[in-house]
Amino acid sequence: MELISLQKVKDGKYLKNYELKYLNKAGREKNYEIVSRQDLKDVSDLGKRPSGVSIVATMNQKFLLLKEFRMGVNREIYNLCAGMIEENESIEDCIRRELYEETGLHVKEIKAILPPSFAAVAISDVTTYFAYVEVEGSLCFENCSENEQIKAAFYDADDLLHMIKEGAPFSSRAQLAAFAFCQGLRIRKN
């Protein structure tokens, strides 16, 4: 397999669509479509710059989840607090800002920030950080953005296991993080 070229086919406000040309194992030229949050110039740019962060947040032995309406699936799902890194913003500042904007909570301690990983490799080159944080404060029950519908809440391990078992609609990252929390995974500071 050899990636030959990429060409932008659509330039949206948040996502850019690209057509990739590659040679398959038999040496035949094929096309593949992806989306990216980045403005890519050539194939060497793929997956180069992290776009955002997913935040695994806990407080008093409880796990933070957002129940949010997601346009792409036309329903509410359980998800992690997450967001895009703004220009010239540090990852730590992004974590603090996104957590506060979506929940009203404050970071008490950043326990770990994992290196960027790919979010959806079948359709995108997007990479994001995973941050594990202990939070403090009180939840804001009305998200301030008119473009997002978010309800934040804390759950204990029994609640989470029941939700997972019953097939509550989760993002894959939130389901994995919630299940790890239920299994007793505890993150120690780096």
Question: Concatenated DSSP letters for 44-113?
Answer: GGTT-S--EEEEEEEETTEEEEEEEEEGGGTEEEEE-EEEEPPTT--HHHHHHHHHHHHHS-EEEEEEEE
Residue 187 lies in a domain: no
Domain count, the chain: 2
pLDDT digits (tens, 9 = 90+) for 34-56: 999 999 999 999 988 899 999 99
Instruction: Answer for the pair 32, 124: CB distance below 8 angstroms, yes or no.
Output: no
pLDDT digits (tens, 9 = 90+) for 156-168: 999 999 999 999 9
Residue 151 lies in a domain: yes
Question: Both 67 and 160 in a single domain?
Answer: yes
Question: Both 12 and 88 in a single domain?
Answer: no
Question: Both 26 and 107 in a single domain?
Answer: no
What range does the domain containing 33 cover?
2-43
Specify the long-range contacts of residues 22-31, CB closer than 8 Å, at least 24 apart.
Answer: 25/1, 29/4
Question: Both 68 and 11 in a single domain?
Answer: no
How much is the pTM?
0.88
